[in-house]
Structures are given as C-alpha cells and as structure tokens.
Structure 1
Amino acid sequence: MTAPTTIPPRSGTAFRLAEGQVLTVIDPQGEQVSDLVAFNAHDLGEAISSGRSLDYASKLYLTAGDPIYSNRSNVMLRIVEDTVGRHDFLLTPCSKETFKIIYNDENPHHGCFGNLEIALAPFGIGPDSIPVAFNCFMNVVIAPATGAFTVEAPLSRAGDFVKFRAEMDLIIGLTACSALQSNNYAFKPIDYRVDRAG
C-alpha cells in the first residue's frame, strides 16, 4: 500500500489512473469535500456523467457497489468501499462565479473549477470540458416535497474515505474544496492514495 499524497486546502491536482488501479480519497481531518472528475485517457471527449450515473442507479446518493458512468454510458469508476455513504453528484464545482453570486464576494477565489482548470490543462483538457464533479463527502440535503436543497456539514470524520476502482485508463482531477458552506466553514486538506487492485 502506497503512502497518501496530500492536496493542500483550496487547491487541486490531476494525474493518470490506470485501469484496475484503486484510488482512495481520504478526509484526514473531517468535514472536508473533494471534487472528483474523470476523463478517458485515450479519448478526452468521454467524461464522467452525473445525469447518466444517477439515472441508471435510480438514486441520488451513490455508495459502495455503485458504478460511475461516462457521457457515453461506459463505466469509468466503481465505488468499492465507502465509510461515509453520503456524497453529492448534483452540484457543479465552485468557481469565481459561485463566490460572487452566493457569497457576494467582490474578490473571489477561483474555486474548485479554477483549480481543476489549472491541474487538467497539461493533459489537454480545457475549462469547457470540465463536467459536474462527484463531490466526495459533500452533504446536500433535499426536501422531498419541494426539491429545495441545502448544503450541510459533511458527515465525514477524520480518516473517513471513499475508494474507487478504475474500469478504464483515466485522467483524474481532484480537489480540496474551496467553498465555505460545503466544508462547515473551514478549509482543510484532502489525502489520496493510488494502489493496485487486489
């Protein structure tokens, strides 16, 4: 088992994940969200799809055993272990616009979207290709009667994790989320580890 790599608060990274490898996203301190996006390493037009994944699962909260599909209905990742069980796959990565519109911030941080844009650029992935992320540990609570939702504190505690197996060769983008509300108003790191399957 490899040692984990740390993503500092309000930053992001990107890396290759080979078919069969296992990515573990770890919340080392608790209550910290991590935005995850994935692209087919051999055809960057294929990316994770919130709409298809949730449609095929017939539920909003994906967890252990659930596949994550691409925009072409191919399985890209499979969740193989999950100590939290509550993640978001509806909301877009936070951005400058998020902080202007929701937080009225006149000098906004570039957010997860900006961090993903920077990290994915060396792989030839531009900002218009960044999809809705699988937001590890993000706790979005939905009112059944109205569909209104609130972003609550993550349920993750220190050391909690979600583990994904790659079902094809991938480019992964991963962040330590930059939005105050998503992280219970504190910015913390995210750890991740890549291992061989088995």
Structure 2
Amino acid sequence: MTDPVSQAGPHRIPPQSGTAFRLRRGEVLVVTDPRGEQVADLMAYADGDSGEWLSSGRTFDYNETIYLTSGHVLYSNRSRPMLTLLRDDVGRHDFLLTPCSTETFELLYPPGTAEGHPSCFGNLVQALAPYGIRPDQIPTTLNIFMNVLVGEDGRVKIGPPISQAGQSLELRAEMDLVVGLTACSAEGSNNGTFKPIDYQITAVQSG
C-alpha cells in the first residue's frame, strides 16, 4: 500500500481533519502546534497486526502516572513498547478521554451541535480504513496538547491547551507502526477555535 503522504515533511493537517501513515521503528514523529491551543489525537497500531494497539491502561500502569512527558514509554495492549516520548515542549497531554465523536456532541454539547459536525473519531475511522483498521478498534487516543484537569474528587475538566505556537512533542517508534493523527474537532478541547496541526517524520535513529 502506498501511504497517503510522503515521508518527507513537514505536513499540515487542516483544521477538523485527520490522516494516517506508517512510522518505522526508530523513526521520530514530531507533532507541532503551529498556532497554539490546538489538540492532536494520536492512535497507533502494530504494522500488519491491527489487533495490537496503543493502550492507555497499560501505559498508565507501567509508568505509574497519568501525566506523560519526556522519557515515558507508551505501551500496547500486549505490553510491548510502541512509542517513547522524547522532547516535550509543553508537558501536558491527555490519555484519559476518548476521541470526540458524534455521540460526544450529542451528549455533551448544546442540542443540534452534532448534525454535520466533524469528529476525531470519524476522521480516524476514515484515515485508518485503508490499513484494515475497523471503527471498533479505535480506543482511547493520546490527546497531544490536551489539558485535562483532574480534581481531588476524581472529576475531570477540560481546560484550554497550554501549548503555544510552534511547540512540539517528539515520539520515537519502538516498532513498525500505523499511526492515525488528527487536528481535533471539539470546541471544548481547543479553547473554542479550530486550527491545523503540523507533523514531520525524521530518519531512523541509530542505536
């Protein structure tokens, strides 16, 4: 299969849309917020085996924290390392909440919002379909730059992203992957606006 984009970057994901591509072991994915306060939803699968995917539960368990940043490893549902977080300019990302969907807008937003509203789930479904990944295989995403606040009573609140224009997160692939990536479509996650997300894939690192 030919990937939808060339490995040479950078690439821009337009507001409220998504893409998918292969990421080889050792390559580094650089996700950049070009204008500030914009979330990017990321999902990853073992290339050639869509039954192995990025797991929030395994990742939280093995890192013993829900606040992931530089040096933390993201694990698959089979407990294998998938990605390592390298340089993190922002230091606040979310791995608790699922990608926004039609149901998100029906249940959590004003009546009528859902009609025709793009969603990260829908964009991931469309982008990942050519790789044989089904909708039911899209679980909780790594929501890069998303600012989810957890209170002492366990309640969660979505605050404005703290990412500023040009800040990035770098992730190194620990196995060959298929990656889905979006520019988030939910108003509440992006401080009421929709902006693009940039990404670039750098060459395989030695060692």
* Normalised TM-score (structure 1): 0.97
SS in structure 2 at match of 1:191: strand
Letter in 1 for 2:76: S
Residue-by-residue CA offset, 1:84-119 (whole Å, 9 max, x unaligned): 000000000000000111003421414000000000
Indicate the residue corresponding to 2:133 in structure 1.
125
**Identical columns (%):** 55
Shift of 1:128: 0.3
* Normalised TM-score (structure 2): 0.93
Asked whether the equivalents of residues 85 and 171 of structure 2 are also in contact (C-alpha less than 8 Å), the reply is yes
Matches of 1:128 and 1:3, distance apart in 2: 30
Structure 1 residues 31-46: aligned runs within 5 Å: 31-46=37-52
Structure 1 residues 88-127: aligned runs within 5 Å: 88-106=94-112, 107-127=115-135
Letter in 2 for 1:60: I
SS in structure 1 at match of 2:117: coil
Q: Relative to structure 1, is the Cα distance of residues 3 and 15 closer, same or farther in structure 2, using a 3 angstrom cutoff?
A: closer
Q: Could you list the runs of 5+ residues in structure 1 that have no partner in the other structure?
A: none
Shift of 1:130: 0.5
Shift of 1:3: 3.4
Structure 1 residues 1-198: aligned runs within 5 Å: 2-106=8-112, 107-144=115-152, 146-198=153-205
SS in structure 1 at match of 2:74: strand
Asked whether the equivalents of residues 151 and 182 of structure 1 are also in contact (C-alpha less than 8 Å), the reply is yes
Shift of 1:120: 0.2
Matches of 2:111 and 2:200, distance apart in 1: 34
Q: CA RMSD in A?
A: 1.2
Matches of 1:42 and 1:168, distance apart in 2: 11
Letter in 1 for 2:165: A
> Which stretch shifts more, 44-53 or 98-107?
98-107
Shift of 1:149: 1.2
Shift of 1:68: 0.2
Matches of 1:180 and 1:8, distance apart in 2: 15
Matches of 2:163 and 2:94, distance apart in 1: 13
Shift of 1:2: 4.7
Task: Report the number of matched residues.
Answer: 197
Asked whether the equivalents of residues 18 and 180 of structure 2 are also in contact (C-alpha less than 8 Å), the reply is yes
Shift of 1:4: 1.1
Matches of 1:98 and 1:150, distance apart in 2: 15
Q: Could you list the runs of 5+ residues in structure 2 that have no partner in the other structure?
A: 1-6
Asked whether the equivalents of residues 99 and 108 of structure 1 are also in contact (C-alpha less than 8 Å), the reply is no
Letter in 2 for 1:112: C
SS in structure 2 at match of 1:113: helix
